[in-house]
Amino acid sequence: MGRTLILTDDTSRGERLARNLGAGGSVTLHDLYGDAVPPSGSSLIISDVSALTSESVRRLRQALAVARGAGTPFLALIHGNLGRGEIQATALGATRVLPASVAGAMLLNAVAALTGSPGPARAAGVARGSLLRDQVDGARQAFAAIFRPDRMPEPAIVESGAVLVNRAVREAKIRDWLTIVANFDDVTHRHCLSVAGLAAAFARQLGLNEVDSNHLIKGALLHDIGKAKISLAILNKPAPLTPEERVEMSRHPALGYDMLLAGGYDTLTLAVVRSHHEYLDGTGYPDRLHGREIPDLVRLITICDIFAALIEERPYKRPKPAHEAFAVLEGMDAKLDVDLVRAFGGVATACETPVRASA
């Protein structure tokens, strides 16, 4: 894959990273706080800095000015707050940002995607389909770690997943994201990642900042976490549920809320998990909330959730085209926030499969 340059503030940690990459002698370590000048001519640069302070950012900028050629991909590994770290890394010109704690396979996938073709081609946007598939796979791995019945999801993993989804949808089309996710076997994984992608696109449509966007996407990733406590026979049933099974399935919002209650999650995220099936007219569940009792963040997720379910294919139903699914949302005006539904129209249009012109 060519030579990789690792910019690090801890050479022992940098050596472990090099071993994890399995690149042998094709990796050069550069101590960010040493006196040496970093080499140029690398095909990939990775930064692995424990804290992006003003001093470390200054040193990274100096090192990149010397070492990074035109179009050379730059992967930034972030320790600590991923949202803030992504902003700083993006300002440094990072091609890709990942949490430093990512699983080895996820890191190797990212490196392969960045070095699979010449750096300038990547920078120009060539082979974006391959990069998007890698990003979706990374988000799926993060979600698999989140969606476990035996323990509460760690907030750091949820944060990582949200950043991955947000970045992928920002760099690609929501339709392409949904197309890749639709091929996943697990129904719940497929649905939650679809909702998360739609939430990311909706955040852009509404002009939300990065912090609020990530908050919305975290809610989307977690909204069905209670289904981890529901029988797989019900979750993956290849037919409509019986009335008894629907009652069991309807327990998932309260189950998810109970899972997260002691985990340090904020009030709005807990509200998303518990209340994403509530309707403004009071006909939803589990608490039959009305109108102002339902926060805006919950209303946003509910719209994405319903739309995703309508456009998804199931063994017992065909997917609705995006325009038909949006028409269903518009017809639910007593139940949904009509202003938010109207704003979602741009996302729905972007999800529509283009009609091919006849020859």
Mean pLDDT, all residues of the chain:
86
Q: Map residue 47 onto helix, strand or coil.
A: strand
- Predicted confidence at residue 271, as pLDDT, reads 95
Domain ranges of the chain: 1-125, 127-359
* Helix axes of 104-115 and 128-146: crossing angle, nearest 10 degrees: 170
**Which CATH number applies to 1-125: 3.40.50.150, 3.30.1020.10, 3.40.190.10, 3.40.50.2300?**
3.40.50.2300
Laid out side by side, the sheet with 74-78 consists of: 27-31, 4-8, 44-49, 74-78, 96-99
Q: Label residue 105 by pLDDT band (50, 70, 90).
A: low
List, as own/partner pairs, every contact residues 320-329 make where C-beta atoms lie below 8 angstroms and the sequence separation is at least 24, other chains included.
Answer: 321/352, 321/353, 322/348, 322/349, 322/351, 322/352, 322/353, 323/348, 323/349, 323/352, 329/303
Distance, in Å, from the CA atom of 198 to the CA atom of 279, rounded to the nearest integer, reads: 19
Which is higher by pLDDT, 331 or 154?
Answer: 331
Q: Which CATH superfamily is domain 127-359 in?
A: Hypothetical protein af1432 (1.10.3210.10)
Q: CB-based burial of residue 242 (10 Å sphere; 0-12 exposed, 13-18 middle, 19+ buried)?
A: exposed
pLDDT in tens, 175-225: 999 998 988 878 888 999 999 999 999 999 999 888 888 889 999 999 999
Instruction: Output the pTM of the full model.
Output: 0.70
Degrees (nearest 5) of the Cα angle 66, 68, 73? Answer: 165
